[in-house]
Amino acid sequence: MDTMQAMLLAVLQGVTEFLPISSSAHLVIPSLVLGWQDQGLSFDVAVHVGTLLAVVLYYRRELLDMAASCFGLLRGQAANDDISLVLYLAVATVPVCVVGFVADGFIESQLRTLPVIATTTLVFGLLLGLADRRAQRASSFVTLTLFAALVIGLAQALAPVPGVSRSGITLTAGLLLGLNRATAARFTFLLSIPVIAGAGLLKGMQLVQASVAVDWVLLVSAALLAAVTAYACIALFLRLLERFGLMPFVYYRIALAAVLYALWLV
């Protein structure tokens, strides 16, 4: 992998990891159009570390508050909203871990194809639009509950399927459950932390077992670039969400699906 390829893929990963537009749908296009080979396991680990660093830094105050509340609970203090949030995140993380463990091989070998990615990009984009329209018309919103967290977690279990978009499907589920955009987005981004950390740990263990040569300068550069890009995307997305809603991303996904179908048919 040359430097230009690595930097472009790092930027793509950073941009698409947290926006509801599907990272797999974007990463497949350079490989097809430019004929690039798979970026390799070590690169996957690097960009996962970068995007994880970005979301942890962005939500560092909330994470510190949750950690302090957990330690306080161990010392006998009463449970509070931060403890509830930790519980909700734990419950919502379980389904995707189960699916990833059981079906990872099948997904990688059978579902990472252009027609699948194009179709999931389109279908789940339209569902995102439906959820956003519902949020626009709502006169009141519900609060996050254990049941809502479980449903969002079950929806997130579809995220390993290429083209679905982890952030997109969790936002869709949250909005359909009656959460407002800000609450759904906050929970979505916090929920990405254990998921990305788990995926990065799994790939890291595979990398250690594979004993492949590592270009540390290239990988550290890619990780930092993915981190900076992802951090900027989180900040920009949350600022624009209430003003513009999610429909721009829906239209983008429809256009992207058209491009993917065209690449498939050519």
Characterise 110 by phi-psi region: left (phi > 0), alpha (psi -120 to 50), beta (else).
alpha
Q: CA-to-CA distance for 48 and 56, rounded, in angstroms?
A: 12
* Spatial separation of the C-alpha atoms in residues 161 and 159, rounded to whole Å: 5
The tokens of 234 are what? 């989180």
Query: What is the pLDDT, as a whole number, of residue 59?
Result: 97
CA angle, 175 as apex, 169 and 177 as ends, to 5°?
Answer: 105
pLDDT value of position 217: 86
The amino acid present at 18, given as its one-letter code, is F
Write down the pLDDT at residue 127: 98
Contact 187, 174 (CB under 8 A): yes
Distance CA 142, CA 63 (A): 23
Spans of the chain, pLDDT less than 50: none
pLDDT at 40: 64
Q: What is the pLDDT of residue 200?
A: 78
Q: What is the DSSP letter of 110?
A: I
pLDDT (tens digit per residue) in 167-208: 999 999 999 999 999 999 999 999 999 998 888 777 777 777
Q: What is the rounded CA–CA span in Å between residue 62 and residue 193?
A: 12
pLDDT at 39: 65
